[in-house]
Structure 1
Amino acid sequence: MTGPKADKGAGWLGWLRRHGPTVFGLALLVGALYVVQREFRGLSVADIRTAMAALSPKALWLGGGLTVVAYLVLAMYDKLGSAYAGKPVSWPKSLLASFCGYSLAHNLGFAAVSGAAVRYRLYSAWGLTPLEIAKVVGFTSLTFGLGGMALGGLVLLIEPEVVPWFGSHLPHWALQAMAVPLWGIVIAYVVMSRFVRHVKIFKYEIDLPSPRMALMQTTLATVDVAMTAAIFYVLLPEAEGLTFLRFVGIYLASYAVGIAASVPGGLGVFDGAILLGLQPYMPAPEVIGALLVFRLYYYIVPLFIAGGLFVSFELGQRKAALSRLTAFGQGTDALEVPAIASLVALAGALLIFLGALPTRGTIIEEWAGHIAALASHFAASVVGSLLLVMAFGLMRRLTIAWGFTLFLLVNGAGIAWLRGEAWWLWGAFLLLAVLVAALRSAFYRDSRLAREPLSAEAAVPLLAVGACGFTLALIAYGGKVADESWWTVVISPLAPDSLRFTVGITGVLLLAAMVRLLRPARMVATAWGPETRARLASLGALAPAEADGAVFGEGDRAGFAFLKRDGVWLALGDPAGDRRDAISAIWRFRDLCERAGVDPAFWRVGPDLLRIYGDIGLTAVSLGEGSLYLALRAEKDLAQLRELLPREA
């Protein structure tokens, strides 16, 4: 079918392919926030502290021990993976790669520091080729999925009623039948490893392991998932009817929803699903207390340890190499910005959490009365929401996001102090503000507001931010919002319709306008033609006879040509011209690719801009031609661009 209808259908499919996962993730996040807000209503920090204090020393020690065991099991993933790739590494190296990869990926979730990218950096320094590393990454990624399906099938067979909604609306046998496809995939994988050596899935060709290794892989993954769930389970109080297997089902469903939302650590989504799943068995404070300790054990403490280990590794590599670049894996040096952005998002989530708790006996209430206390309560959710938006801007290295983040973190510290929270809580906001301030040089991009003239397109969101902030302040400090967060006012049937509408439209406009202000300067790909070729040639860039377009920097003083491939747009060389404008051209290309739903890659680039390529989440692979590299998302696009690499890679 051709014509307008076909074009419209293709357009919708293209939009859905590019933005569908993001929209789905946002929908899950909004639903999770609603669940969390509903469960937190009427709670206080004291309730949660009481629940945490009730945790026995035995449960705390057992949870900590199971965390160590769980990460040791994860190290076996990498040990088996390197053996599968034909280049086995030592146990200490497997432990380092696994611990850093999983800890950073669990918490940060950004492409620049994904578990695969971290593994590429580590294994390349230990002498593995890109193809060997790709096998390790593929093996470790598949292993967890096998464990989830095997254990999920067992839960469905024995405790099928644990499945949300379906458990009470479908026959017992129908729920048990849902285990068949899960176990079928696992069994098919093991059986195929006996008879088939190569399998092609979509555009990827996979070498299957031996049957013995496939069985070990499945068993190991099942133990890993069970161990991780056990960490949480031992921290919960005893509850009638909550068997370990039933909890595993709740945990797997919550974890799957967290992954689907694409939120770092499943923050908010995993928590909301766990609260919902455990609601029939125990009060919310007991679940939240165990949840906080679980996150401390499995996420936060390993994040800081892994961050320290990875930074130490990088410093060791640089000291050993001095000014010499290693042959592969220069893409993940820039760890600090994704880590800081993740911490800022965590700070925003913490303020949202505080905004969901009622104000009782706070400092500001003693000084300025109950209305001012309510205002600080309302402000916590507003500032927390804005910090989540700032994390988005920090990842794009925007200077304006850096400034706004400092301002909001200081506000967050003030809100926590005025609410009478512990000193370490508001002190953490100030410490994070100091860390952000120290990284000023890492935020080198101008937003549209700073780069372009103050047009109507830039002035409207700027005025909207000011007007919305002023409106919300008037509502809060007027005492009209009572004990609510800003988004709960919108859905509360107790609030007047006019107030609900005002708060809702103002809050949404504030966040939307802030996102508009944080957008980078306008991205436009220049059509290919004789004039474009001449412009690139005058800058000294590669200007082939045929290309799909060109990208120039914000000042038109640097640029490069690019080719469109299936799922990847390939830039031809470093941007030639002014260095500062070359950096803006790289980021423009990255943003352009993001809008188009494809990955960026740069072919035949030199060492000078490898740090910038690392900032946009690319890894540099040596082309074996002096100091020339292919910068790509190796964990995703190595198979697609393999023909550009030397044969031995």
Structure 2
Amino acid sequence: MSAASSRSRAAARGTQGAGNTLGPLARNAWTWTRRIAPWALAALVLALVAQQARSVDWPQVWTSLQKMSPERLALAAGIAAVSYVVYAGFDLVGRHLTRHGLSVQLTLVTAAISYAFNLNFGALVGGFAMRLRLYTRWGVSGATVAKVIAMSMTTNWLGYFWVSGVVLMGAPPKLPGEWAMSDVLLRMIGAAMFALAALYLVLCTWSRRRTLAWRGHELELPDGRLAVVQAMAGGASWMLMGAIVWVLFAGRVDYPVVLGALLMAAVAGVITHVPAGLGVLEAVFVAVLAGTLPTSEVLAVVLAYRAAYYLLPLVLALPAYGWSEAVARRAPAGTRSAR
């Protein structure tokens, strides 16, 4: 064997060894980046929000809040209650598919309590941990709860995609400054979102394969009729949320503009992982409505929305959670679902 050939093989082994070393390093770096990036982004958003908050005339915001009529606030709270019932109904889809045996009433109460905790403390606390706790207290297995959660999330985002698609195609929002995008691009994004929602309906109606698998997770497809119910319920939930804010603005801002701002704020909150979208919701509405209404009035409306849709339901959910725990402890084991 020639010396040149030996050196070549040695170099190849060295390169392979370096590659084997760099592989785990690259994976570890990517893992840590995924863990740190959301928190870094959240810290940046909170810093920007804090900077903006210092420039707000908070006494004027309080004055704007005091000017809201009790009738308007009561109507907003009423719409919020209807919206919670609709959202809680998402879990009925999972109940239908899994046949877990829990009553309709207990399913709705469980979903509503979890949603209130989800909005105020984040998805891990409310959307997952609280749902798992409540359902398993009634004897529903963890695997079944996971399917219910997956179907609820699918219903929610299915509604988000088609409603966002319609808003972007029909009334693309006018984004300020560095956020600005052309109407053509926004309509294209809207069309793509609507198409994805439609694709789900097509798969549920005509696909021979009734289970979708991704990274070890499986999602059972409902039939076409149930998928349409999902789309309508998911869309109604988002539109009712927009109606709450629109009512609080007393018609001074067009409904599509309000709904578009709310939809953007929802995604921004998910990206930043800030619990309850604290500060993110306010920042998006202030940016979108800049030049339309004074900042103090916009913030007053968003704070009233938070009270009606976040805080009031949480006040009701806390004793409801205590009641459900007490009832579950007293319930005979034979009366609980074992599925």
TM-score band w.r.t. shorter chain: 0.7 to 0.9
What per-residue deviation string (whole Å, max 9, x for no partner) do you get for residues 329-359 of structure 1?
xxxxxxxxxxxxxxxxxxxxxxxxxxxxxxx
Q: Distance in 1 between matches of 2:251 and 2:50?
A: 22
Amino acid at match of 1:259: V
What per-residue deviation string (whole Å, max 9, x for no partner) do you get for residues 283-330 of structure 1?
111112112211111111211221211122223333457xx9x999xx
Amino acid at match of 2:159: G
Assess if the C-alpha contact under 8 Å between 2:86 and 2:233 holds in 1.
Answer: yes
Q: 2:52 aligns with which of 28, 38, 41?
A: 38
Q: 1:138 aligns with which of 127, 146, 150?
A: 150
Q: Match for residue 29 of structure 2? A: 15
Q: Match for residue 537 of structure 1? A: none
Q: 1:188 aligns with which of 183, 199, 206?
A: 199
Q: 2:137 aligns with which of 114, 125, 146?
A: 125
Displacement after TM superposition at 1:158 (Å): 1.1
Q: Distance in 2 between matches of 1:92 and 1:72?
A: 11
What per-residue deviation string (whole Å, max 9, x for no partner) do you get for residues 548-575 of structure 1?
xxxxxxxxxxxxxxxxxxxxxxxxxxxx
Residue 89 of structure 2 aligns to a residue in which SS? helix
Find out whether 1:303 has 2:314 as its counterpart.
Answer: yes
Find out whether 1:254 has 2:265 as its counterpart.
Answer: yes
What per-residue deviation string (whole Å, max 9, x for no partner) do you get for residues 407-440 of structure 1?
xxxxxxxxxxxxxxxxxxxxxxxxxxxxxxxxxx
Q: Distance in 2 between matches of 1:181 and 1:228?
A: 23
> Kindly tell me: are residues 81 and 166 of structure 1, through their superposed partners in 2, closer, same or farther at Cα, counting changes over 3 Å?
farther
> Kindly tell me: are residues 158 and 18 of structure 1, through their superposed partners in 2, closer, same or farther at Cα, counting changes over 3 Å?
same
Residue 114 of structure 1 aligns to a residue in which SS? helix
Q: Distance in 2 between matches of 1:36 and 1:309?
A: 34
Structure (1 or 2) with the larger CA radius of gyration: 1
What per-residue deviation string (whole Å, max 9, x for no partner) do you get for residues 210-248 of structure 1?
100000001110000010121122112543xx3211221
Displacement after TM superposition at 1:4 (Å): 3.8
> Kindly tell me: are residues 76 and 168 of structure 1, through their superposed partners in 2, closer, same or farther at Cα, counting changes over 3 Å?
same
Q: 1:65 aligns with which of 73, 78, 81?
A: 78
What per-residue deviation string (whole Å, max 9, x for no partner) do you get for residues 252-272 of structure 1?
111111111112111122222
Q: Distance in 2 between matches of 1:2 and 1:165?
A: 49
Q: Distance in 2 between matches of 1:15 and 1:114?
A: 30
Displacement after TM superposition at 1:73 (Å): 0.5
Q: 1:221 aligns with which of 234, 246, 261?
A: 234
Q: Distance in 1 between matches of 2:286 and 2:26?
A: 36
Q: Distance in 1 between matches of 2:139 and 2:283?
A: 43
> Kindly tell me: are residues 10 and 154 of structure 1, through their superposed partners in 2, closer, same or farther at Cα, counting changes over 3 Å?
farther
Higher helix share: 2
Assess if the C-alpha contact under 8 Å between 1:28 and 1:269 holds in 2.
Answer: no
Higher strand share: 1
Displacement after TM superposition at 1:144 (Å): 0.8
Displacement after TM superposition at 1:281 (Å): 1.6
Q: Distance in 1 between matches of 2:109 and 2:321?
A: 8
Displacement after TM superposition at 1:149 (Å): 0.6
Q: Distance in 2 between matches of 1:197 and 1:166?
A: 44
Q: Distance in 2 between matches of 1:110 and 1:212?
A: 28
TM-score scaled by length of structure 2 = 0.85
Higher relative contact order (CA 8 A, sep 6+): 2
Q: 1:269 aligns with which of 246, 257, 280?
A: 280
RMSD over equivalenced CA pairs, Å: 2.7
Deviates more, 1:52-61 or 1:118-127: 118-127
% same residue? 25
Amino acid at match of 2:153: S
Q: 1:50 aligns with which of 48, 58, 63?
A: 63
> Kindly tell me: are residues 7 and 303 of structure 1, through their superposed partners in 2, closer, same or farther at Cα, counting changes over 3 Å?
farther
- Any unmatched runs of 5+ in structure 1? 329-647
Q: Distance in 2 between matches of 1:193 and 1:76?
A: 19
Aligned residue-pair number: 322
Q: Distance in 2 between matches of 1:280 and 1:134?
A: 45
Assess if the C-alpha contact under 8 Å between 1:81 and 1:136 holds in 2.
Answer: yes
Q: Distance in 1 between matches of 2:226 and 2:123?
A: 31
Q: Match for residue 116 of structure 2? A: 103
Displacement after TM superposition at 1:23 (Å): 2.3
Assess if the C-alpha contact under 8 Å between 2:245 and 2:258 holds in 1.
Answer: no
Displacement after TM superposition at 1:42 (Å): 5.3
TM-score scaled by length of structure 1 = 0.46
Assess if the C-alpha contact under 8 Å between 2:138 and 2:336 holds in 1.
Answer: no
Residue 273 of structure 2 aligns to a residue in which SS? coil
Q: Distance in 1 between matches of 2:196 and 2:98?
A: 23
Assess if the C-alpha contact under 8 Å between 1:40 and 1:284 holds in 2.
Answer: no
Deviates more, 1:89-98 or 1:247-256: 89-98
